[in-house]
Amino acid sequence: MRGIDGSPWRVLQTAGDMRGIIFAGSDAQTMVTIDSGNTAQLRRWESPLLQTIFLDDDVWDIALSPDGERVISGDSPVVHVWNRDRTIVATLDAGQNTLFGFDYSPDGQMIAAVGANGTAQLWSPTGELLQDLQGLGDVQSWGTSFSPDSQRLAAIAEDGRILVWATDGKLMQTLQGNKDLGLRVAFSPDGEQLVAASGSGTLQVFQTDGTLLHEIKGHDAAIFGLSVSPDGQYYASARRYSTAKLWRWDGTLIRTFEGHSNAIFGVDFSADGQILATASADNTVTLWSLEGEKIKTLYGHGPGFKDVKFSPTGELVTVAEDGTLARWNLEEVLALNELDYACNWVADYLRTNSDVADSDRTLCKDLPEN
């Protein structure tokens, strides 16, 4: 389905080829779809999903502008910045070098991008290349992070080095991290410390002068997700095999979050620091309290989730393995009846798929009242 501007609006699953669509009701919120199996299905747009953008890439990272109005994501040499109305407002063109990791400066004046062949760049919000940062050599980088004052940029190299530049392009510091696959890096909110995550499951905390404060064997597999709480008390890490952990900066493990059935690629704290979101290849995003209680589970709009970010405007932004970028209304997500939501999601499949046993077709019948 597409909006009147031609942009994709909703993704529909049918039992066969779509043959017809009829809108019903004066509110245009109800429609009937007819597929090649002559199955007619009644649908309503009851979803906390606000909008989607369909990228062409299997992406790794999302970055949001500080006002939440713009988002950048991609996995190619040419990456777009999208506005809330799904228009492209800037294009970053790195030539032959694929870009993987992104960050917006807290003041909103710069975008950092890192990627293949030692690429580390600073761009203006309108897509002007400001700095081509030197120091990585030809070593690939997956992760980058601005300092809270927008004056420094850190990037982690695949060989474990962490490079810190001033935003005028001067290389200020090179920290020798774990000599393993470097994946993620983040500043503490006071800008005095850095946490780095590796492919071996190791977490390292540095002073920005290069002093290694802590090294923790945090996970027994690669750490794909890393996020710092807004109040600076904690950071969260997420591993390749389905668990996330909450840490104090002194290396104390506070909590382990379990419940996903596949790799967790993304993790993020809400703006108030009270909710932790995890995005998994099991095609779910889970919202947790910091006490470890599962608050809500969102089911995917693609084959699996690659990243998740909270927006300061009260939205949840996700990206899937197929490149589907989506904004969710966080207020509606938190108020969501998960059983109703899940049953609405699978109702057509249960009714029409010939492989479903008759006994399973009524799984969502007679749901309890909210």
Q: What is the pLDDT of residues 112-140, one digit of tens each?
A: 999 999 999 999 999 999 999 999 999 99
Distance CA 89, CA 311 (A): 18
Confidence of residue 51 (pLDDT cuts 50, 70, 90): low
Neighbouring C-beta atoms of residue 60, cutoff 10 Å: 22
Q: Are 31 and 77 found together in one domain?
A: no
Q: Are 245 and 307 found together in one domain?
A: yes
Determine, yes or no, domain membership for 334: yes
Mean pLDDT of 144-151: 97
Closest to 249 (Cα-Cα) out of 266, 229, 263: 229
Beta bridge partners of 155: 144, 163
Determine, yes or no, domain membership for 82: yes
Closest to 329 (Cα-Cα) out of 305, 307, 310: 310
SS3 220: coil
Percent of the chain with pLDDT strictly greater than 70 = 80
Determine, yes or no, domain membership for 10: yes
Mean pLDDT of 56-82: 85
pLDDT in tens, 74-96: 878 999 999 988 889 999 999 99
Confidence of residue 6 (pLDDT cuts 50, 70, 90): very low
Mean pLDDT of 261-271: 93
Q: Are 6 and 116 found together in one domain?
A: no
Q: Are 111 and 259 found together in one domain?
A: yes
Confidence of residue 368 (pLDDT cuts 50, 70, 90): low
Determine, yes or no, domain membership for 230: yes
Confidence of residue 22 (pLDDT cuts 50, 70, 90): very low
Determine, yes or no, domain membership for 356: no
Q: Which residue has the higher pLDDT, 340 or 330?
A: 330
Q: Are 83 and 38 found together in one domain?
A: no
Q: Are 80 and 217 found together in one domain?
A: yes
The rounded Cα 197 to chain-centroid distance in angstroms is: 17
pLDDT in tens, 238-255: 987 789 999 999 999 999
How high is the pLDDT of residue 28?
A: 40
Determine, yes or no, domain membership for 368: no
How high is the pLDDT of residue 57?
A: 59
Q: Are 21 and 117 found together in one domain?
A: no
Q: Are 98 and 230 found together in one domain?
A: yes
Distance CA 261, CA 277 (A): 15
Q: Which residue has the higher pLDDT, 332 or 168?
A: 168
The tokens for 101 are 């990791």
| Burial category of 55 from C-beta neighbours within 10 Å (exposed 0-12, middle 13-18, buried 19 and up) | buried
Distance CA 295, CA 318 (A): 17
- Alpha-helical runs (H) found in 229-356: 330-334, 338-352
Mean pLDDT of 173-192: 88
Closest to 104 (Cα-Cα) out of 88, 92, 95, 86: 92
CATH code for position 192: 2.130.10.10
Domain residue limits at 130: 51-338
Beta bridge partners of 205: 195, 214
| Burial category of 370 from C-beta neighbours within 10 Å (exposed 0-12, middle 13-18, buried 19 and up) | exposed
pLDDT in tens, 290-319: 999 999 998 875 678 889 999 988 889 988
Closest to 101 (Cα-Cα) out of 121, 129, 126, 124: 121
Q: Are 187 and 273 found together in one domain?
A: yes
Name the range with the highest mean pLDDT among 26-40, 151-165, 229-243. 151-165
pTM greater than the 0.85 cutoff: no
Q: Are 264 and 285 found together in one domain?
A: yes
Rounded mean pLDDT of the chain? 82
By DSSP bridging, strand 78-83 and strand 284-289 are unpaired
Distance CA 259, CA 241 (A): 11
Q: Are 121 and 254 found together in one domain?
A: yes
By DSSP bridging, strand 315-320 and strand 305-310 are antiparallel
Q: Are 175 and 34 found together in one domain?
A: no
How high is the pLDDT of residue 313?
A: 83
The rounded Cα 135 to chain-centroid distance in angstroms is: 28
How high is the pLDDT of residue 303?
A: 74
Mean pLDDT of 95-121: 95
pLDDT at 44 over 70: no
Domain count, the chain: 2
Determine, yes or no, domain membership for 145: yes
Determine, yes or no, domain membership for 346: no
